[in-house]
Structure 1
């Protein structure tokens, strides 16, 4: 005789577990519809941008490298040469690598107030090239990566994709997690077989590896975003944990007098060198007679990015700011951006982020192929999910996601409204059982 009392709870538990799995699967699928195209685009553009210095060294070799001459000319002489071939309305900054055979990079505003780069041979003062900053190859790529070349409008779509990518990876890990006949050994075994099974296992396997490598990259890039990053910035301002960089104003002293003969750019860079700053150096000229020079180390190592305020008449160091002077949260955010760009710990960081790019592309392709081979003809093949009310835990989770990632919350509300008003009536996204 069967013990009905004992068997009922087991059956109920099995049904609930299956229902929750199908619900997670549907969330994962719908998130992927939006996220995967963006993930592929971000992987390609971000992967290329990782190698920015290497690529620029190739495509701009004729403007970055010069023949070493007998004597370097002063920066004032180089600027004078620039003013003869370009309509310079304001010098924005000068960057030098303090190394033989490298050009001087000058940033200036032209007659149309367009920020422009000029590369100058420091030995002959020849202007090698000028180009609007936003038209340089890597600048265009960076803007496409961050805003789809659509400005503030485009960056919201990219940020939304980043937020939903987190949901996609979290739900994907749940789907990958060993259960039932899917053993731990199978979960960690590289994919094999043929057909849809191969592509599904490839998607699961690379998805787990990609989650480990890509999620930290996504989180590290969030401070750059408008909504999430703007919220973080607001919190930092109210808690006094923003960067204390002298570059962005704040408590920056002016020169001790408002008259006299300004020191040369060479003298400013000599001060930076004497203070132990690591090259390359970047300086900005004083904005008026009472202001001072700003100069810093432009090293890719954030810990070395020391800044100085230098009196434009005496050359005295009026203020010094080291990276370690920033609040802990500001240092973490800055180092996170360095990690996002593959700069934090040298070639290993670069290799790690490159692997993340490759896995993301495999994940995107395998997910698309597995879906295409599974979907019923003429349908999206949305996974079936139980028509059940949300429990307290799920409601808390959704609210928490909406608070932590505002664009997820806003888009989820829009999606639920569309589902209630339109999609259900048209029979869209209702789901199909897998074959």
Structure 2
């Protein structure tokens, strides 16, 4: 009897009511964090999905917009690129040609990037069969450029990049908390598990939001991580810096420039590989050629003793380049750069990535970097970027369109669901309620710490949300308690 009494003692016997209260308290605690994160993330998720759709159809949009500047009638023989370059330089005497982009199709024009005196960059198109300068495309007027700038910085520069990085980091918290909330625990949660109920609008929005978010959670995580690698803090400071040249791969005894590969990019376009951006460019070791003015200043030009662009293109063919860009030297120590990279849209298979620097005077290959030289993480990034941009194949592109539409559905259904379930009082937010039994949940705290450590900018948002939850929305204890 004593043993029986001890076993059934109220202090030691399990209390179903208490256990259910703890589970419910934990559920609402996770729901609150999901709510706070979603409140911040959803506007960004809608923006990223819409701009992503525009960027996926960049080639189609630009071909329609600039049909007259891009379309040519194919002929059997094309003129040497050096002659086309000469015509472009004569047409823009005050501009500086920085890049040559050969056409991807015989019916498309060649392009030369020209940096104008006012600092703008324009793509000048030429008919490779006649040498005619057809027209120009203002790179800043591109739909892709606008969508890309909004996608990456909200047109706010560095601060916009920080805000988007916070949103992407908090999206990972959304995924974790969302899967916890979606996973069936009782009859109520099982009722909508992988089901779409049409009985009322709130249940419909809940089922669309929860089931599609859970089903595509790994896809969303992939897009978030591959996108975060471009950000200023998590990407450039924590990840990219560990996986860039020449950390484990050096140029040997070749002189290095003060410029990096990122300096070759035009605007926000990423034309060089992610793992090369922070690495210094090599320099040409030949003699300086130029004309000295009466003021003692040197006006640099590629002299007759330097190799010309035709020689570089011939080398490109011998080296196995098919589609590529040629970056022209911009100083007496500059180099010709051949770049065929999946990040820049030159090739669709990242395993064909290749970046080669050529001495502008001797034609010697100074540096040659290919897929085999990439670190494991750099290879993952290169492959991830191609998938992220929908470059791998038409199937990849169609799937990315589907994913963008799904992310829009998840975001909009979440907003509608909140709007329907919010309290009738227009000034109330409808934040999931607190329980008096709320306390420290070790697993939850560990998850928040993990996200804060791995994604530093998310830490600021988590602290802010925590303060708001504790100070503003914590329920007041009654005087009788």
Tell me whether the two structures share a fold, i.e. TM-score over 0.5.
yes
Task: Please point out which of 368, 372, 376 is paired with 2:423.
Answer: 376
User: 1:174-211 CA distances to partner (integer Å, 9 max, x unpaired)?
Assistant: 11101110476841233432221222112211221232
Which ranges of structure 2 fall in alignment gaps of 5 or more residues?
250-272, 290-303, 341-345
2:300 maps to 1:270: no
Q: What count of residue pairs does the alignment treat as equivalent?
A: 425
Task: Tell me the equivalent position of 2:282.
Answer: 252
SS at match of 1:116: strand
8 A contact 1:191–1:205 mirrored in 2: no
- Following the alignment from structure 1 to structure 2, what is the Cα–Cα distance between the partners of residues 386 and 24? 12
- Following the alignment from structure 1 to structure 2, what is the Cα–Cα distance between the partners of residues 105 and 400? 47
Task: Tell me the equivalent position of 2:369.
Answer: 321
Of Structure 1 and Structure 2, which has the larger fraction of its residues in helix? 1
Shift of 1:253: 5.6
1:87-126 alignment runs, 5 A limit: 87-97=93-103, 99-126=105-132
8 A contact 2:244–2:277 mirrored in 1: no
- Following the alignment from structure 1 to structure 2, what is the Cα–Cα distance between the partners of residues 317 and 216? 37
Task: Name the Cα RMSD after superposition.
Answer: 3.0
Task: Tell me the equivalent position of 1:233.
Answer: 240
Which ranges of structure 1 fall in alignment gaps of 5 or more residues?
431-435
Cα gap change, 1:245 to 1:168, in 2 (>3 Å): closer
Cα gap change, 1:43 to 1:241, in 2 (>3 Å): farther
Shift of 1:247: 7.3
8 A contact 1:116–1:133 mirrored in 2: yes
Task: Tell me the equivalent position of 2:260.
Answer: none
2:389 maps to 1:341: yes
SS at match of 1:187: coil
SS at match of 2:15: helix
2:73 maps to 1:73: no
Task: Tell me the equivalent position of 2:142.
Answer: 136
Task: Tell me the equivalent position of 2:180.
Answer: 174
Shift of 1:296: 2.5
SS at match of 2:100: strand
Shift of 1:407: 1.4
Shift of 1:404: 0.9
Normalising by the residue count of structure 1, what TM-score does the alignment of the two structures yield? 0.87
User: 1:90-129 CA distances to partner (integer Å, 9 max, x unpaired)?
Assistant: 2211010364222111112101122222122222333222
8 A contact 1:278–1:304 mirrored in 2: no
Normalising by the residue count of structure 2, what TM-score does the alignment of the two structures yield? 0.80
* Structure 1 stretches of at least 4 aligned residues deviating more than 4 Å after TM superposition: 1-7, 182-186, 241-249, 255-260, 418-421
Cα gap change, 1:107 to 1:239, in 2 (>3 Å): closer
Shift of 1:87: 4.7
Of 141-150 and 323-332, the range deviating more from structure 2: 323-332
Cα gap change, 1:393 to 1:205, in 2 (>3 Å): closer
Task: Tell me the equivalent position of 2:265.
Answer: none
